[in-house]
Structure 1
């Protein structure tokens, strides 16, 4: 049996577990998975939100759990076993076009893989569908910034290193990941409590097949909102050549990271398309989790907590 098959079987086994707890306010972390509210009251602007009048799309028989109409954003904490935990943590942003969340494919299954590396995972249930049609990441970025601050505020509760908190996302969640790393110095919502005195800058970014970095139909420059500076966090990117123009757009993002002297790694695979998460296939892109784990190790993010 070759290594690719073995890797695929290992990933599939990891994807088989993930149980979510109920919603609770943030007051400390249990060992079991727990869903934690992000905001002490309504999320910013949510009191005026009018839900869409159209009926939700019927469920698809494709093995993906999709969540829609999120009005109370949360994050679900999933911990590695005590003997593996290394103090690193990652906020996971599922994709879905900023209209739904691919909750298992790009959320809880990713948490299981991160747990296998000793990393604590926080799966972000950010607000969808789009609140701002022109800038669809407006509300999700507020939720992501708040989640990062809460992770830092309560790092000691979970025996986490507040300087090893990354963000990983897919498709629209990959775009949100990039936004957290390029807009961390912007106040996107009014201060709620002491947590908002803390930095929301991620320590590293992992955008996987990120969307919306630039036009996805016609080759062109990066979106002006993708503002790379020397303070942009170290980044690992994975995408495929056959995923519209997302490979080209990811390459442009990598070039800007290189210009700013930001440590970065880019993998553009020949085949794989879009929306695969880490589920195994015969396509070369199925090896991205192994490459990402190697990057995390070489960058020191998986070192035992001192």
Structure 2
């Protein structure tokens, strides 16, 4: 029976060496294309798919080794979808821990499409898992802390579900959301349709924020964008209620009155031509894409049908008939 040790000892040593090598690799810093680096794991992703998404985002991780590490830690089926951020120095083990479903050190916050910065801040201020470093700061002070050269954060934060280590800074979460929006906007701007009435990506972002607020049904989004783009091209007033409501701020009581439409503010698109000075909400990617690739349509008007959809018209006469039918109960 002495031959058994001679057979199994080399195997044992080989396994021990492999395990030691894997442990060493699991605790070495990964190479990142930038820092901080954001990546997203889409819902329903397998471990392999998640690794692919991380590598495409710029994390230089060896797929087979990370998959092996995950299986040894029984984490290969427990990854959680969402938006993540990593920094220089992160190790494969730390990266894997971020992906574990139900990890007790992980917080989650969903920031909603179409919300304003004021609404987002209210949600963040109430979140128990964030360190509230922005508490008591004005928006201008937050902008300074983020190192941004902008007049407002409105529209500059990408709506998403963000995952983070508990007691992470709310300031860092805002920075992640800003980086995400910049990436999305740059990508959509690069693929924009020809002949749009926008001189800068910022102007397109303003339009996307209006489209976000005016869209009642996903299928109408590109047509809504087409109406506003067509009106800009023709030099027509945009005449969109959400901009007026935004200009009223906290004075809006839920009831938009005729006098509100007639009272001039920088955001009143019934009294001022062109785009408002800033976005009026945080648009999602679908609205960014619609603003930069609107439907091919000559429509200049639309009115809500009352079921979430809209009726689009090319002429004022058609529009008035649609208003009479859907808003005033006419035949």
TM-score w.r.t. length of structure 1: 0.25
Bigger strand fraction: 1
Bigger helix fraction: 2
TM-score w.r.t. length of structure 2: 0.23
